C-alpha cells in the first residue's frame, strides 16, 4: 500500500516538474506581481549576501521611533494580508476577486516593507521571524494559481505551508513586540 502511495507521489512530482516550465512560459507575463516579487527578492538576497547597506536608511533605523513606526507598518501589512482570509471566512464573496488582487499586489511588495524596518535578518529568534516573513512571501509567490500546476496534491500542500507560515508569523511578531516593549 505504502509502495503504491510513494509511486503516486513520484508520478505527481514528475508531473509537477514537467508542468513548471509550462507555467513559467505561458501564464506568467500577465502576472506582473510575480516578476515584481521575484525581482525584489533577488535584490534582497543580493543585498543580504553582499552586506551592502543604505547609509541614510541605517541612520534612520538607529532611531527607536522610526523602528516603532516601520514595525507598525509591517504589522499593518501582515494584518492586511490576513483580512482577506478572515472576510472570506465570514462569507464575503462580492469583493473576493478585488481583495485577492490586493493580497497579491501588496504581498509582492513585502521585501520593501521589510527593508524599511531592517536591513539585516537579525540573530536568534529575530532571524527566524525574518525568515518566516520571507518564506510566507515566497510561498505566496508560488501559489497554485500562478500557472498550470495541476497536480492534485499541490494545492493542499501549498495552502498548508502558506497559512501555516502566516500563523507562525503572527505568533513570532507578538513575541517580538513583547520582547521589545514589555521590559522597557
Residues that bind ligand HEM (CB under 6 A): 33, 37, 61, 64, 67-68, 71-72, 74-75, 78, 81-82, 85, 88-89, 103-104, 107-108, 110, 114, 117-118, 120-122, 126, 129-130, 133, 136-137, 140-141, 143, 145, 162-163, 166, 169, 173, 176-177, 180
Least distance (Å) from ligand HEM to the CB of residue 1? 31
Least distance (Å) from ligand HEM to the CB of residue 26? 18
Per-residue H/E/C for 24-73: HHHCHHHCHHHHHHHHHHHHHHHHHHHCCCCHHHHHHHCCHHHHHHHHHH
Nearer to ligand HEM (CB atom), residue 10 or residue 42: 42
Least distance (Å) from ligand HEM to the CB of residue 140? 2
Nearer to ligand HEM (CB atom), residue 6 or residue 180: 180
HSE at residue 91, side-chain half, CA atoms within 13 A, is 0
Least distance (Å) from ligand HEM to the CB of residue 124? 10
Residue 170 in contact with residue 78, Cβ under 8 Å?
yes
Taking only Cα atoms into account, the Rg of the chain, rounded to an integer number of angstroms, comes to 19
At residue 106's C-alpha, the angle toward residues 114 and 50, to 5°, is 30
Q: At what angle do helices 125-141 and 110-117 cross, to 10 degrees?
A: 160
Nearer to ligand HEM (CB atom), residue 22 or residue 127: 127
Amino acid at each position: 500500500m505504502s509502495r503504491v502511495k510513494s509511486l503516486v507521489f513520484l508520478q505527481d512530482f514528475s508531473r509537477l516538474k514537467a508542468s513548471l516550465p509550462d507555467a513559467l512560459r505561458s501564464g506568467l507575463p500577465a502576472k506582473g506581481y510575480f516578476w515584481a516579487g521575484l525581482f525584489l527578492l533577488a535584490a534582497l538576497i543580493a543585498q543580504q549576501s553582499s552586506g551592502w547597506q543604505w547609509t541614510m536608511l541605517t541612520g534612520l533605523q538607529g532611531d527607536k521611533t522610526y523602528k516603532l513606526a516601520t514595525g507598525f507598518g509591517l504589522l499593518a501589512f501582515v494584518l492586511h494580508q490576513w483580512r482577506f482570509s478572515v472576510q472570506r471566512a465570514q462569507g464575503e464573496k462580492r469583493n473576493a476577486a478585488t481583495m485577492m488582487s490586493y493580497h497579491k499586489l501588496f504581498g509582492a511588495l513585502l521585501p520593501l516593507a521589510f527593508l524599511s524596518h531592517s536591513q539585516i535578518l537579525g540573530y536568534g529568534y529575530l532571524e527566524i521571524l525574518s525568515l518566516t516573513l520571507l518564506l510566507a512571501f515566497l510561498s505566496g509567490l508560488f501559489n497554485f494559481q500562478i500557472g498550470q500546476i495541476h497536480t492534485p496534491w499541490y494545492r493542499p500542500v501549498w495552502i498548508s505551508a502558506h497559512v501555516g507560515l502566516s500563523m507562525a508569523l503572527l505568533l513570532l511578531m507578538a513575541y517580538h513586540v513583547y520582547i521589545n516593549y514589555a521590559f522597557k
